[in-house]
Amino acid sequence: MAETSRTARSTLRERTRAAMRNEVSEVAFRLFSEQGFDKTTVEQIAAEAGLSRTTFFRYFGTKEELVLGKMTEFGPRIAAALAERPAEERSWEALRRSFDVITEPLADETQPFLNLMQLLDDACALMTRQWEKTQGWHSLLVPEITRRLGGDPKSTKDLRAHALVGSALSCLDAATDAWTACGGTTPLSELLDQAMGVLVESVE
C-alpha cells in the first residue's frame, strides 16, 4: 500500500508539473508573439504566469527551453515509432513513417507549430540549438537502421545507416522550411513525401 501511495503522489506531482509547464509555455508564446523572443524577459514571463523568477527556473532551465522543449520530446518518440515499424519494411520507408509522429499532430495544430518555427527563424541562437537537438535525433535513429540493415545495433560506425538517417533528417528540415514558408497551406506530410520521394527517384 505504501508503494502504491508513493506512486500515486509521484504521478500527481508529474501531472501538476506538466500542467504548470504548459501554462507557462502558453504565457511565454503569447509574449513572444507580441514582443519578440529577444525582448521578452524571464521576469515578464514569470510575472504574467503568476510565478516568481525562482519558481520559473524550477520548471525551465532557460528561456530557450520554453521554445525547444517540444523539439527535445520528438526524438525518443520518433525512435520508438521507427522500432515499431514492420520488420520487412525498407529502411527509407520506415524512416518516413516514423516521422508521422511529427506530421500527423500538425494536421490539427498547424498554427502553434508555425509560431514555433517563426521563433526559431527570428532567433539565431535558437536555430543553433534546434540543429543540436535534431543531431541528437540522428544518434537515436542510427542503431535501429543499422539493425534493419543487418548490422550490429550497438555499433555506431555503419556508414549506410548514418547516410540514410542523415538524408532523412535533411529531407525533414527541407520540408519543414517549405511548410513554414507557405504558412502551412500545404500539409507538412505532403511536402515531406515530396522531399523524400526525390531521393528515391534519383536512385531508381
**53-88, pLDDT tens digit by residue?**
999 999 888 887 877 776 677 889 999 999 999 999
Percent above pLDDT 70 for the chain: 79
Backbone angles phi, psi at 145, to 5 degrees: -65, -40
Q: What is the mean pLDDT of residues 125-146?
A: 78
- pLDDT over 70 at 109, yes or no: no
Model pLDDT for residues 168-198, shown as the tens digit of each residue: 999 998 998 898 888 888 988 999 999 999 9
- pLDDT number for residue 173: 86
Q: How confident is the model at residue 120 (pLDDT cuts 50, 70, 90)?
A: low
Cell numbers at residue 21, please?
509547464
More reliable by pLDDT, 144 or 67? 144
More reliable by pLDDT, 84 or 21? 84
Helix-helix angle 63-83:124-148, to 10 degrees: 10
Nearest Cα neighbor of 191 from 167, 204, 172 is 172
Sequence-distant (6+) residues with CB within 8 A of 166 are 138
Q: How confident is the model at residue 131 (pLDDT cuts 50, 70, 90)?
A: low
